[in-house]
Amino acid sequence: MAKKQINVRVDEAEYDTIAERAAAAGMEVADYARQVLADEGNDLRHRFLDAAQHYAEEWGPHFAERFGHPAPAQDEARGRAA
């Protein structure tokens, strides 16, 4: 398959953020950017995310009603410190 090249200019702060995320993923910046762009172009991924959002909106309240709401991490930390 033929390869195409895309050149994108970003400001320094955006680049630093991208570089940090790439490092956290154990990837080079170019490889990370390639993966992010590939993910954005993946129709199946977007359909899955849309379906997951619909499921969460539809069933989230029922789940919370049945199993309760988790305590925020701050409240748990305060409870242990007290």
Domain spans, the chain: 12-81
Residue with tokens 């940090």: 20
- Model pLDDT for residues 52-79, shown as the tens digit of each residue: 999 989 998 888 888 887 777 665 555 5
What whole-number distance in Å separates Cα of residue 23 and Cα of residue 12?
16
Locate 22 and state its tokens.
Answer: 């790439």
User: For residue 82, what pLDDT is reported?
Assistant: 45
User: For residue 75, what pLDDT is reported?
Assistant: 54
- 26 neighbors 32 (Cβ within 8 angstroms): no
User: For residue 16, what pLDDT is reported?
Assistant: 97
State mean pLDDT over 40-58: 87
Which positions ≥6 away from 29 have C-beta within 8 Å? 15, 18, 19, 22
pTM of the complete model: 0.55
Which positions ≥6 away from 18 have C-beta within 8 Å? 10, 29, 32, 33
- Model pLDDT for residues 4-38, shown as the tens digit of each residue: 888 999 999 999 999 999 999 999 999 999 999 88
